[in-house]
Amino acid sequence: MLRFYTAGESHGKGLVAILEGMPAGVPVREEEIDAQLRRRQLGYGRGKRMAIEEDRVEILSGVIRGETTGAPIALWVANRDWRPDEPDITRPRPGHADLTGALKYNFRDVRRVLERASARETAARVAAGAVCRQFLEEFGISILSHVTEIGGVCVARRPEGWDELRAAAESSEVRCADPESARQMMAAIDAARERGDTLGGVVEVVALGVPPGLGSYVHWDRKLDARLAMALMSINAIKGVEFGLGFAAARTPGTQAHDEIFWEEGVGFFRGTNRAGGIEGGMSTGEPIIVRIAMKPLSTLRRPLRSVDLVTKEPVEAVVVRSDVCAVPAAGVVAEAMVAIVLTDAMLEKFGGDHLHEIKRSYETYRQRIKE
Ligand code: EPS
């Protein structure tokens, strides 16, 4: 249904995203894409690069007078820190794509790898995701995220309501909804910076307003959780994905692991709990989709690990380049974008049409039937 590509290097001229398959008639506001790009640039623990860049989108195609036309949407985000002539790097970082990328493509310079393996690429994803968010908004679907863990510091408490959770996370420098936990996370980041170290963490992403029945139980590659997991695992440095109870479900007996079903006049079917994280049998249940991602600590270390020079084969210390101490808050914003892209694809698959009006009609008919 929906396809998207990105192109661009971290210190190339800029980044491109091409989003193909978006129907006509979707209102797209450039300011909203820019607002998402700005959110991705924030976060305590980021390096100096984020002070240099001021990410802004330019819509090159597919949108006329603020509405999609159904044609491919090309988005451009320029790099301020464009450096076309940097020297070679031959000291690969353990944990990075450097060594394997160089072996695979027969490079003697890992810069050719790291320029593309860099998480700078995620700015293009956020731009594409921001267009998808505007499509989802038309159906009352919204996506939020908050950081639940950084460097072993876990969030101690969280607000009850989704709006409160969102507001608290948005106002936090580490995107954590509990100010006291946030303070401890920032202290952990400061300590890691002092040591020349980096920190990973966990982010929870929540999608609200998703109708039941997106995805499918009939075939493996149409399952919604499988598609979300792939999209989220594709984000740089993400090592794990879990839905609802996730790995804890493996340690929970069946009587306490599932969500009992109820029905009420005017509401229809609903669950009393949401341990499944909004997905059963590869389909959305209509409850909030709740997914957590684990990010490893970044592999560029100011106290470098042992490595081997690609050319001389001598033991060396891995290269030290400018980088972030912690990018977990930013990863949450990227994860929201990836979830938006997958949900848009799943919505188009279920309710698809060439114009937003057609899709809305089909969606309303379905909602009505479900209610009855
Ligand atoms: C990154 C290294 C840093 C980060 C970068 C990801 O960039 P630089 O090498 O220019 O200092 O700032 O992230 C971004 C530029 C971004 O926009 O997120 C890396 O090696 O992955």
* Closest atom of ligand 1 to CA, residue 81: 10
Give the per-residue pLDDT at 1.
87
Half-sphere exposure of 365 (CA within 13 A, CB side): 8
Q: Which two tokens mark 359?
A: 């899709």
36 lines ligand 1 (CB under 6 A): no
E strand intervals along 86-164? 142-150, 153-154
Q: Which two tokens mark 318?
A: 């891995």
How many Å apart are CA 100 and CA 240, to the nearest integer? 21
How many Å apart are CA 286 and CA 39, to the nearest integer? 28
Above 90 in pLDDT, residue 360? Answer: yes
**Residue 96: exposed, middle, or buried by beta-carbon count in 10 A (0-12, 13-18, 19+)?**
buried
Residue type for 128, please?
Answer: A
Give the per-residue pLDDT at 267.
85
* Closest atom of ligand 1 to CA, residue 114: 20
Helix (H, G, I), strand (E, B) or coil at 152: coil
Half-sphere exposure of 67 (CA within 13 A, CB side): 10
Q: Is the pTM of this model over 0.85?
A: yes
Q: Summarize the confidence of residues 347-353 as an average pLDDT.
A: 96
List, for residues 65-104, the tens digit of each pLDDT value. 999 999 999 999 999 999 999 999 999 999 999 999 999 9
* Closest atom of ligand 1 to CA, residue 236: 21
- Indicate the range of 70-74, 280-284, 355-359, 367-371 predicted with least confidence: 367-371
Give the per-residue pLDDT at 32.
98
Closest Cα to atom 20 of ligand 1:
118
> Among candidates 149, 125, 113, 116, which has minimal Cα distance to 296?
149
Q: Summarize the confidence of residues 153-163 as an average pLDDT.
A: 97
Q: Residue 184: which H helix or E strand, with range?
A: helix 179-195
Give the per-residue pLDDT at 310.
97
List, for residues 42-60, the tens digit of each pLDDT value. 999 999 999 999 999 999 9
What is the chain's mean pLDDT, rounded?
97
How many Å apart are CA 124 and CA 105, to the nearest integer? 24
12 near 80, Cβ under 8 Å? no
Helix (H, G, I), strand (E, B) or coil at 63: strand
Q: How far is the CA of 10 from the centre of ligand 1 (A)?
A: 7
Indicate the pLDDT class of residue 62, thresholds 50, 70 and 90.
Answer: very high
Q: Which two tokens mark 25?
A: 């008639």
121 near 142, Cβ under 8 Å? no
Indicate the pLDDT class of residue 288, thresholds 50, 70 and 90.
Answer: very high
Across the chain, how many H-helices and E-strands are there?
Answer: 11, 18
Give the per-residue pLDDT at 372.
80
Place of tokens 């009609």: 361
Indicate the pLDDT class of residue 266, thresholds 50, 70 and 90.
Answer: confident
Give the per-residue pLDDT at 354.
98
58 near 75, Cβ under 8 Å? yes
Pocket test for ligand 1, best of 10, 48, 298 (most atoms within 8 A of CB): 10
List, for residues 324-337, the tens digit of each pLDDT value. 999 999 999 999 99
List, for residues 110-148, the tens digit of each pLDDT value. 999 999 999 999 999 999 999 999 999 999 999 999 999
Cβ-based neighbour number of residue 355 at 10 Å: 14
48 near 154, Cβ under 8 Å? no
Give the per-residue pLDDT at 313.
97
Closest Cα to atom 7 of ligand 1:
323
Q: How far is the CA of 49 from the centre of ligand 1 (A)?
A: 6
Place of tokens 């989108």: 57
Give the per-residue pLDDT at 268.
86
Q: Residue 7: which H helix or E strand, with range?
A: strand 3-8
